[in-house]
A and B are shown apart, each in its own frame.
Chain A
Amino acid sequence: MAFNRRQFLKVAGLSTALGLGGKGAFELLWPGEVGATELATRPRALHGKRWGMVIDTRKFKKPEDFEVCTKACHQAHNVPYIKTKRIEIKWIWSAYFFQAFTDQENAYLGETNEGQVLLLCNHCDKPPCVRVCPTKATFQREDGIVFMDFHRCIGCRFCMAACPYGSRSFNFGDPRKLNDQAINPKFPSNGDFPTRTKGVVEKCNFCAERLAQGLLPACVEASRKHGSGGLYFGDLADPNSEVRRALRQHFTIRRKPSLGTHPSVFYIV
């Protein structure tokens, strides 16, 4: 029997259609989601529309007032302590007022200028780091927290260049294999929290993992328990929240407002 071109094309077309519509091809191209189910947050979790913080710089007087906060944060999040400034990793730290508030150009601020202020990621409402991230590894959550997905970070450091506040640090080496340049006797310090790996950027996450358990951020809690208690945390969208009350009662400033990033961290000076 002759099998001409017309017949061949018919059979070929039909088998292609069957192959594409077959079960195996269907499963390959459109796999079902494993374990798809109803998801929930923990019953005690704190919910907010835009988490924010107010820092009362007047209450931070002694170096210990700062240390209590930084230590609590860095222990809770397994942030290694690296002595070499060039490659240090920090989520929360302190600096001189004139270094942090470059918009407030005033040589006659005196004591204020020379004082230290507590600094951390501002969790901007319009975060420049999120705009530049090519992999969406850093993104803004619905509750306003600017969050890092370390799984996706490729270490390009665009976000570090974009952040005007120096809130981001890069892991130049494996934090678990730090050598003598690190003073790191007890790393990792928190068994419930992961470490990071070489080649990812990290920063403050506003203690999203603690909010999910109904706890306040580590720095706020530590400051209240052992320090000066100059930190207020809450939902900026809720007029009755602790932060909104503090904002009503005091005049506050934010870092570099002229850049239009709309930080969620406010300072009482």
Chain B
Amino acid sequence: MKLYDAGKIIPGVIIFLLIFLYPLYSNIGGAAPVPKPLLPKPAVAKQCVLPTAEMKAQHMQLVDNWRNWVVRDGKRIWTSPDGRAFNMSLTNTCMRCHNDKEKFCDQCHNYLGVKPYCWDCHLDPKQKKEAK
């Protein structure tokens, strides 16, 4: 087997690969650090409304359900599986313990590039403090 025009093809393929794979090799070792959301101190609360693993995976569905139950059904009190009752409120319940949006919420949301619009309307603890 003979490769015709090897002098042009092989450098061409190399140049193509160099350009095509640039995003891959240029980012080697430069990965963004894994987010470390700041959890509330045990003195504030030992346990979130659901176990941590479930909150990590499903807090968005839970918060979505909460808002539907409050806004559409007019129910405000939710009982966790372990029997504790909570007022379903982002600002007044979730963020009472998770009181630093930048150090908690934004950590993972920025890392994953998701932009939930919760705080377009709902106040974070800093804004809540200023409002009072």
Q: Which residues of A contact B58 (CB under 8 A)?
A: 34-35
Q: Which residues of A contact B47 (CB under 8 A)?
A: none
Interface assignment of A191: CB less than 8 Å from any CB of chain B: yes
Contact A212 B127, beta carbon cutoff 8 Å: no
Q: Which of B50, B85, B120 contacts A35 (CB 8 A)?
A: B50
Contact with A along B53-86 (1 / 0, CB 8 A): 0100010011001110101111111111100010
- What's the nearest-Cβ distance from chain A to residue B120, in Å? 4
Given contacts A33-B65, A191-B132, contact A39 B73 (CB under 8 A): yes
Bound-state CA distance A41–B58 (Å) is 24
Closest to A40 in B: B77
Contact A191 B72, beta carbon cutoff 8 Å: no
- What's the nearest-Cβ distance from chain B to residue A254, in Å? 25
Q: Which of B74, B81, B87, B122 contacts A141 (CB 8 A)?
A: B74
Bound-state CA distance A40–B123 (Å) is 24
Contact B123 A212, beta carbon cutoff 8 Å: no
Given contacts A188-B123, A191-B123, A195-B121, contact A39 B62 (CB under 8 A): no
Q: Which residues of B contact A189 (CB under 8 A)?
A: 131
Bound-state CA distance A186–B117 (Å) is 23
Q: Which residues of A contact B81 (CB under 8 A)?
A: 35, 37
Interface assignment of B107: CB less than 8 Å from any CB of chain A: no
Contact B75 A40, beta carbon cutoff 8 Å: yes
- What's the nearest-Cβ distance from chain A to residue B99, in Å? 13
Contact with B along A132-151 (1 / 0, CB 8 A): 00000001011100010111
Contact A39 B69, beta carbon cutoff 8 Å: yes
- Interface SS of chain A: loop
**Chain A interface residue bracket vs B:** 20 to 34
Q: Which of A41, A42, A78, A151 contacts B71 (CB 8 A)?
A: A151
Given contacts A34-B65, A194-B123, contact A212 B76 (CB under 8 A): yes
Q: Which residues of A contact B61 (CB under 8 A)?
A: 31, 33-35
Contact A35 B65, beta carbon cutoff 8 Å: yes
Bound-state CA distance A40–B73 (Å) is 10
Contact B62 A192, beta carbon cutoff 8 Å: no
Contact A35 B127, beta carbon cutoff 8 Å: no
Given contacts A34-B61, A35-B65, contact A41 B72 (CB under 8 A): no
Contact A195 B79, beta carbon cutoff 8 Å: no
Contact A191 B80, beta carbon cutoff 8 Å: no
Listed in ascending order, the chain A residues whose CB lies under 8 Å from chain B are: 31, 33-42, 45, 78, 139, 141-143, 147, 149-151, 174, 186, 188-192, 194-197, 208, 212
Listed in ascending order, the chain B residues whose CB lies under 8 Å from chain A are: 49-50, 54, 58, 61-62, 65-67, 69, 71-81, 85, 87, 91-92, 117, 120-123, 127-132
The 7 closest A-B pairs by CB, nearest first: A191-B131, A191-B128, A39-B75, A197-B120, A34-B61, A40-B77, A194-B121
